[in-house]
Structure 1
Amino acid sequence: MTALPEMLSPLTVKIEQLLLDPNNPRFSELGEDLNNVSEGRFADEKVQAFTFDKMRADVFDVSELKDTIKTLGFLPMDRMVVRRWRGNPTGTDDKYVVIEGNRRLTALRWLISLHEIGKENFSAEQLNNFTNLECLLLDDEAAPSTASLILPGLRHVSGIKEWGPYQKAKAVYALRKSGLSSQDAAQSLGLSTRAANSAYKCYLALEQMKNDEEYGEHAVPRMYSYFEEVFKRPNVRTWLSWSDDDEGFTEEERVKEFYSWIIPGDDGQSPKLPEAKSVRELSEILSDDSAMNILRSPEGSLSRAVLRFEVDHPEDWYPKVAAAASAVNSLTPDKLRSLDQSTLSSLVELKDKITQALKDRESLIGQQS
């Protein structure tokens, strides 16, 4: 059997020769049946217009792709895969159905239509980039009938591994420092401007830690998530005094204190903020002197500090505990049997936190006696 890559050959086409697939498997995400348009109707103007409109649904994120292509151009490294349109019996009109790349074709058509109505003004060079395309032609006579599902599946199911938050932030930083505006940097990476700006600040915060003589060696990419949580918590961000002008935190003493809480102790003890989401609990106790004094003490821990806070502020936590107890009591045998692994893990985590809180209470009572 011939390998699938050997059934693909380079092909240069005009964008007018490409047809969006009206039976695109993506449309199942819209709750529609597949394979409901006959091959002979694919090139009908209204069929293509209707398919174009469906492809612009929010679920397919074509708008962000359009902005990226507008900023960077259409890059030839990511060629669309096409097959010959079988609905042309005379063979006089070479058209091709897109198997893999319907989002890209939609984005290109969208940009061209905006240019035609005067909402965008592209140069001749840009329009040439959008309309003269390098594709890969599938020999669908030799290829298995499943090829139209296998090829998109290679990309979208097993797919290209998406960048993690740190890698995205590093890319935003590099683009911003190269001279791009925050909006252009965001569009280049298919991000919203707000998300790109947040990533930029988080990256700067981690770089600030990296440049600290005392704590710099601990500023590894996995620490990035701590600063994501910081910027989600306005009171923590304010406590550390973030400055857009200085592109860093300016409250040096507090910054160093925060660093000390997110790294292991000298004797190998776990960090006082053992995971990034611990910043959420720090946010709750930050304005409470008693709780913060416990956190700062040599033997203090976040769980003990939170317990102190909850004892002093029962109105903040008791209703949540009562609601959790009520929810657990409502679990019928049938519900218990059908719990998925994620829900079970949450229940185990809740049990562990309750056990730890009760141990901390006993410890605090012992210190007072």
Structure 2
Amino acid sequence: MGPFQGGESVATQATPRTTLPLADLLLDPENPRLPPDTTLVDRASQHAIALYMETAYRLEDIAESIVERGFDPTEILWVVPTNDRYTVVEGNRRLAALQFLTDHLLREKIERAQRRALWDELSERLRMNGHDVSRLPVEVRDSREKFLDHLGFRHVSGVLKWTAEAKARYLTQLLEREELDFAAAAKRIGSTAPAVRRQVEAYRILRQAKAADMHTDTAERWFGLFYTAVSRPQFRRFLSIGDEAGSSREPVPPEALPQLEECLGWLFGTTDGKRRVIGDSRQIGELALVMEEAEATTVLRETRSLSSALAVSKGGKDQILGALRAAREQLYVANGRAFEYKGDLDVLSVAQSVSDLVDRIVDEIAP
């Protein structure tokens, strides 16, 4: 019998450490590994969750281990009661792998024939090897909140880390469900209060954008870049985020939401086809310099060219002066040793290219 076809309820028999039928275990629709609900059509559907995980994670690697060695009894699943069954809050990839191994109806829903054949072959090998996975070791708690500390240590601070967006979403849930401050939440997961504050604040800003019907899919996928950007003081000033906003569930004031949409467009592009203005995360600093100055920001809005906007900003001048001064210091060093390589064609070739480059820079700058 497949895991979606019911099973004898053991809710009244469960103790903190016990075994439960595979058929009584449910995938967690609140699993931070799942994408935000805008990109998973039906989070309430166990099939939808399992099929998403099959495409997003290498469940076959977990399945291969189970096929060869059986289910490791030390790999205990953490579960909470859900009506007459149990939701797995830790161990969802293992549960999903087992579901594909044991439920032919689920396997038939896999779109790619090659993937279906792979899972059919793994399922047959499990049967041939004789491993019994009908009951699994679990630890039962009466609510998911009882597991939050352990989940934080494992997946936020520990070695089995979630994505940046999943970590921030989990931390936000932790604070808001238990009404913790940043210091208390940091202590619970083995982090620092400033780090927790930055992650939660970035997630809340993105949540605001989504609530305002802004395009956030790319920002969710590249949450680390978004987090880095909105942590910079220039971005915070541009979005009118005050120092006291850390405890607010809506850090960006309503009047600054248009600027938030602009930021998302500059960082990730827009739904109407306008490309992002930065090439990679290293240019976030340049974008921040532009956002500090009204004239440079106007140029960016009109041209969507970061280099053009940077050229009219004070930051652009500081940047080129810094680069020229650093190059000059290195050339002083080279000049002091040039006599050692008189007649060396390799050194002469590089020196000539440097001279040509300096001439071009002077020609560009000269009035």
Q: Please, what TM-score do these two structures have when normalized by structure 1?
A: 0.41
